[in-house]
Amino acid sequence: MMAEPTRGPGLYPPPERTRRQVVLADDHDLVRGGIRGLIELLPDIEVMAEASSGEELLTLMESVTPDLVITDIHMPGMDGLEAVARIRRGQPALPILVLSMHDTPDFVQRAVVSGANGYLMKNAAPSELQHAVQSMLATGHYFNARVARMLLEKVETCADDGLTERQVEILVMIAGGLSSKEIGHQLGLSPKTVDVHRARIMERLQVRDVASLTRYAVRRGLVKV
For the domain that residue 180 is a member of, what is the CATH number?
1.10.10.10
Q: Name the more confident of 160 and 32.
A: 32
Helix, strand, coil % in the chain, rounded to nearest 5: 50, 10, 35
Is residue 70 helix, strand or coil?
Answer: strand
Instruction: Kindly state whether residues 122 and 46 are assigned to the same domain.
Output: yes
Q: What is the mean pLDDT of residues 10-17?
A: 53
pLDDT of residue 148: 92
Assess if residue 2 is contained within a domain. Answer: no
Q: Looking at the structure, do residues 65 and 148 belong to the same domain, yes or no?
A: yes
Based on the fold, state whether residues 100 and 193 are members of the same structural domain.
no
4 found inside a domain: no
Residue 55 lies inside a defined structural domain of this protein: yes
DSSP category for residue 40 = T
Are residue 173 and residue 109 in the same domain, yes or no? no
Q: Which of 152, 177, 198 is the last residue of a domain?
A: 152
Q: Is residue 71 part of a domain?
A: yes
pLDDT at 214: 84
pLDDT at 176: 85
DSSP state of 21: E
Cα separation, 92 vs 75, in Å, equals 23
The total number of structural domains in the chain stands at 2
Given 118, 152, 186, which residue is the final one in a domain?
A: 152
Q: Which domain holds residue 188?
A: 159-219
Instruction: Please check whether residue 224 lies inside any domain of the structure.
Output: no
Q: Are residues 136 and 40 in the same domain?
A: yes
Same domain, 27 and 106: yes
pLDDT tens-place string over residues 121-152: 999 999 999 999 999 999 999 999 999 988 88
Cα(219)–Cα(207) distance, integer angstroms = 14
* Residues 136 and 58 grouped into a single domain: yes
Co-location of 139 and 163 in the same domain: no
Domain identity same for 172 and 92: no
pLDDT tens digits along 96-107: 999 998 888 878
Asked if pLDDT for residue 72 goes beyond 90, the answer is yes
Nearest-angstrom CA–CA distance, 71 and 98: 5
Mean pLDDT over the full length of the chain: 85
| Residue 189 in domain | yes
169 domain-assigned: yes
Residues 129, 169 within the same domain: no
Lowest-confidence range among 25-29, 42-46, 105-109, 185-189? 105-109
**Is 12 domain-assigned?**
no
- 182/114 same-domain check: no
Same domain for 170 and 132: no
Q: Please report the pLDDT score of residue 216 as a whole number.
A: 78
Pick from 133, 152, 171: which residue ends a domain? 152
Q: Is 10's pLDDT higher than 50?
A: no
